Structure formats: structure tokens, C-alpha cells
Structure 1
Amino acid sequence: MGRILRGLAGEGHLRVVAAETSDVAEEARRRHGLSPTATAALGRAMTGALLLAQLLLKTPKERITLRLEGTGPLGGLLAEADPQGNVRGYVQNPQAEVPLRPDGKLNVGELVGAGVLRVDRSLPNGEIYSSTVPLVSGEIAEDLAHYLWQSEQIPSAVLLGVRVKGEGEVEVAGGVAVQVMPEAPEEVLQRLEANLSGLAGLTPLLKERGLEGTLEVLLAGLGFERTDLRALGYALNEIPARFRCRCSREKALEALVFFTPEEREDMIVKDGGAEVVCHWCGEVYRFSPEEIRSLVAEVRCPDCGTLWLYPRADGTLFRIEGDTCRCGRKVEIPSEKRAQA
């Protein structure tokens, strides 16, 4: 399990979040069968999502999603995190690979390519706030720093790293984000810049010094003061970071509702059941003919077949908003179903 630390430096003028995510990145690699460079890309993105969740989210029920849409062979990447340290993610082409950079490092920028970074913030009431910025390099850390400045007006330094070994297993992974608070003294900024410019790389430092030692080097002369997280219920004074998906067997069964009854019956006849794979985590759910045939409570448009209501364990729920179907027909829900919705 990984971990997240928070604190202040530069006499309160720098807000710091740091994460050790080796286990998180390795689980993502294993679940999705990632190539080495895809492992680095997704590991960086998930670590970045964890850092941004600490910097930007205000309540435990909020989530942040990073979506990188690039022209490179990776084809696209998503990572989602919450303030409790839960994160998940996937890439479109998990086995995509490119040659190493001239310096021998994994070329994440080329794998991602040119494109955009979209950041979605999901609020407890269901609203989603989205911001989109062009990718600066595709290396992810620079792109997140650019996003924080362009969309949030937060000058920040972001460092992310994933080192792989052997057959592509993750040796070490982590990240640090340093947010510059308003009216920070020039001498604080100069010291931070000097520390960052003298850094040979994040992963060697994490490997040699660990997370606390890495922060000592990055914030040398700036007086890092670690936030006491025990008051928030974290007995070890750190937030656990883990790959955790929000999928479930119930949600997977619900997904079959979006197929028509005829299509579901065809699954039973041809395959003897159905298999649903979660793209976020790779978990496989298999359903028997009896479970598939239990999905009989949906209400569909008589004209175009659009799903109007679908079943849940606690009743039924509207799938569309408004009173008109996409085909133009007036939505008419039977009274007994409407009462359940």
C-alpha cells in the first residue's frame, strides 16, 4: 500500500503534498498488462491524481479525474482519485510501446503524444466541473503544473516518477507537488528553484532516501513542517494510497440492462451467459442465464428502444432527463414504475 504526506514549508508559504505509490503503480501494471512505458505513464497519472485530490478537493465525497487525450500510440489515459487515497486508472492501448529516449529513460512524452489534458472535478451533488488545457510535453508532471497555473491560478512545481525493472515490474514510484501560496517571499521561491534545479531525478532520490528523505532534499533550507493527520483519523499520520475501483457485481449486472432483452437472450443462447469486464480495473464478472433473465424491470421507448428506466437493488431510476425521448416521443412511465423511481 502507498501513502500520502502533507505539510507546509517556507514558513507557511509553500503547501506540500507527497506520495509514495510503488504498490499502486505495480497493481495497475498487473491488472492491465501494461508495457513498461505505459506503466510509467499510468503510474505518473494516478500519482498526479492523488496529489491533485489533496490540493483541490474539499470534501470526502468529491473525486478528480485526469483524462489525457494524445496522438501517441497510447491512445488515451484516465486516472481518478479521491481525498481518501483511493485511485484507479486505465489506458486505451496497454501494450503500446516506444523506443527509449536518448538518455535511456522511458519516453512517456512520445507514448502520449500531442493533445489535451482534461481535469474533471465531481462534486457530491453530481455536478462536474471540467477544465481543458493543451499538453505541454506529455510527460504528465509538466502538464499538471501547467494545468494548475492555467486553470486554477496556482503556481506549482510537480514532480512524478516511475522506475521499472526486470520484466517491467515497478521498482519505485511517487510524486511531490509544491504549491506556492500568495505573497510568498522571493527568497523562498529562489531557494525552492535552486533545490529543484539541483535534482538529478525523482525516482533515484525516492529509491535511495524514501519519501521523507526526498522531501528533506527538495525542501532543504525551507523548514518543512509535516501536517498532523492523526486528528483526521489517520493513526499513522499518513493517508493510505491504494488502487481501488468502484465497480461491483451489482453494477456490472446493471450494465447488461443497456442491451435489449433480445440481445441478452442471444448472449444466453450463444455463450451460456454473459461476461462483463471493468475497464477501470480489469475485474471480470460472469453472469448465469438466471441472473441475466432477472433483468426485466426496465422501461424502454416503444419507438426507438431507448432505455427510460433501469433497475437497481433499491428500485428503479430514470436514465433520461426531461419529458421527451431522443426520438421525439413523449416519455410515459407506467404509474407503478414512476412511484418506484
Structure 2
Amino acid sequence: MNDYLVRILSDTGNIRALACVTTNLVNEVCQRHGASVTASAALGRVLTGSALMGALLKPGQRVAVKFEGNGPLKKILAEAESSGAVRGYVGVPQVDLPLKQGKIDVAGAIGHAGFLTVSKDLRLKEPYKGTVQLYTSEVAEDIAYYFTESEQIPSAVGLGVYVEPDARISAAGGFLIQALPPAEEHGEALDALVKRIHATPLVTELLREGATPETLLARLFADIPYEILETHPLNFQCSCSKPRMEQALIALGHQDLVALVQEREKVEVMCEFCRERYLFDRSELERLLKGIQ
């Protein structure tokens, strides 16, 4: 199954929801980074959450979701564009923790003290940025907490990543449900949704049984009429390029660039997101230096 996302709106217009499958893109990102089982589960959840958040944006906009905790993973960053392009990385991909009560210890790997920061590039002068303290460090609950606290949008989020013993991703996906104002006018529908979410098996179980975004939403909205607004593909896609890496070198400043030219015949710069490597020889470094001067 190719990765894709479905967005719906209830007939009453006060509940919107999205569901997606992200197995392929999560697998590609985790493989590129050589992520362990624990790191793959954590990174996969953040990638999936960012894909859902990116789908709420207007064309050309982008969201960055960053988890920084006191756990051994250090940091997880994922970016998603409204088009469905997703990328991300984890600070220490080799971290692998013992199972906790039979489950992958994502919260322990992220750490229970820290912050979730959401930055939205809305094509304005300054990006919008919201930060909340980590709530459970399980990722889904933290994203729901962010929406409720920072954007005042009551939300429910479910994320799942099934990692095989060899660290291959065999299932990944999730859902995001939000109550739009005036939410209080339709309390019964929201209450029914909450009960159904709690009664629904884990996202990974449903995906491994063959659930699609459509069937996942149909299950959650069993007695709530809705309309499908959009279906679009999701894929891993990095925005790096040699010109962008040139800008990164220029950002080092005149003094550091001079030192590189004097000390090295060539410099290798690696993209944190996709691990692509870019080589710059001395003549290229000298050209960048002249550009600064």
C-alpha cells in the first residue's frame, strides 16, 4: 500500500479528522539513519504526527515538529509540507532500550522532562512557533496536548509504528480528530467519538490487519455522518541541495571559512535529514569566500 492521507469533515461542520498510513516513508527515513528498534518507533511516531499536522496547512506552507527531552534520544525533528512531503531525523539513532511491560519504551527514550516545539512556516515574515512541556512523551498525547494548550483546539491523536526485530517498519500510521468551534453545541457526538477512540484497538493492530485511512475513519465515525474532503499521497522527500549546503557553509562566517580553505583540500557536508553527502573542493570554498568578501 502506498502512503497517503484522508481528510474529512462532519456534516455538522464542527469535527474534522485526518487519518494516514506512513509505513513506507517511515521505513525509508529510519533505514537511512540506521535507527534502532526504539529510535525507529519514536521517530516514526513523530514523522506520522507531522504528516497529519502538515495536512492542516494551506498550499506552500510547512510545519516542523521537534521533541527535545532528557532521554538518550536527545532530539527528534520532523518536517512536513502541505503537499505531503515528509522528512525527519533523530539525535542519537542507535539508542535501544529494553521493552517496558512488553512495549517499546518510547517515553523513556525521549525523556519525561523536556519540550515539544511546533514551528509553522505560513509564508509570512516570521514563522509561528508554539512550545509546550512534554505531557507523556508518548508523542500522540503530546501532540494532542499541544493543540489543546497552545492553539485551543480540543484534539485526539492516535499514532502507531510496528517495528520488526530487525528494525524494519511493517506498519505505521495514525489519526487526528479535532473539535472546531462551537464544539459545545455538539457535545454528544464528541462524547461518542471519545468513547469509540478509547474502545478502538491500537492503530498498529488495525494497520497490520489491513486497515486503510478510510476504514479507520469509518470505524471512528460509525454513527457520525461526514464528507471526505481530500485524499493525497505522502512520501519521504528532502529539500536539501548543493546550493543549500553552500548557504550553510557561508553561514559559518568569514573566519571559519578561511580556516577550512587553509586546512583542507575538500570539505564534506552531510544533510541531517536524508544523510546525503555533498563535497566541496578548495576552489569551491575559495569561490564562497570571495562571495562573502
TM-score (norm 1): 0.79
* Poorly superposed stretches of 4+, deviation over 4 Å: none
Distance 1:84 1:118 in 2: 21
Q: Shift of residue 10 of structure 1? A: 5.9
Q: Counterpart in 2 of 1:63?
A: 62
Matched-pair contact (CA < 8 Å) for 1:191–1:222: no
Q: Counterpart in 2 of 1:220?
A: 222
Distance 1:167 1:199 in 2: 28
Q: Which AA in structure 2 matches 1:214?
A: L
Deviates more, 1:124-133 or 1:254-263: 254-263
Secondary structure at the aligned position of 1:286 is classed as strand
Q: Counterpart in 2 of 1:253?
A: 246
Q: Counterpart in 2 of 1:287?
A: 280
How does 1:94-109 map onto structure 2 within 5 Å? Answer: 94-102=93-101, 104-109=102-107
Matched-pair contact (CA < 8 Å) for 1:10–1:188: no
Secondary structure at the aligned position of 1:251 is classed as helix
Q: Which AA in structure 1 matches 2:154?
A: P
Secondary structure at the aligned position of 1:121 is classed as strand
For residues 27-69 of structure 1, give each alpha carbon's deviation from its aligned partner in whole angstroms, at most 9, with x where no partner exists.
Answer: 11111111111111111111111111223x2x32221111111
Distance 1:289 1:115 in 2: 41
Q: Counterpart in 2 of 1:111?
A: 109
Q: Counterpart in 2 of 1:181?
A: 180
Distance 2:17 2:172 in 1: 17
Distance 2:267 2:292 in 1: 21
Greater relative CO, 1 or 2 (CA 8 Å, sep 6+): 2
Q: Counterpart in 2 of 1:263?
A: 260
Q: Counterpart in 2 of 1:298?
A: 291
Q: Counterpart in 1 of 2:237?
A: 244
How does 1:68-107 map onto structure 2 within 5 Å? Answer: 68-102=67-101, 104-107=102-105
- Which of the two has higher C-alpha Rg? 1
Q: Count residues in correspondence.
A: 284
Distance 2:200 2:243 in 1: 48
Unaligned runs of 5+ in 2: none
Secondary structure at the aligned position of 1:67 is classed as strand
Q: Shift of residue 225 of structure 1? A: 2.1
Change (3 A) 1:225 1:255: same
Distance 2:125 2:20 in 1: 28
Distance 2:141 2:154 in 1: 12
Q: Counterpart in 2 of 1:322?
A: none
Unaligned runs of 5+ in 1: 230-237, 301-341
Q: Counterpart in 1 of 2:201?
A: 200
TM-score (norm 2): 0.92
Secondary structure at the aligned position of 1:294 is classed as helix
Q: Which AA in structure 1 matches 2:55?
A: Q
RMSD of the alignment, in Å?
Answer: 1.6
- Percent identity, please: 39
Deviates more, 1:246-255 or 1:274-283: 246-255
Change (3 A) 1:69 1:97: same
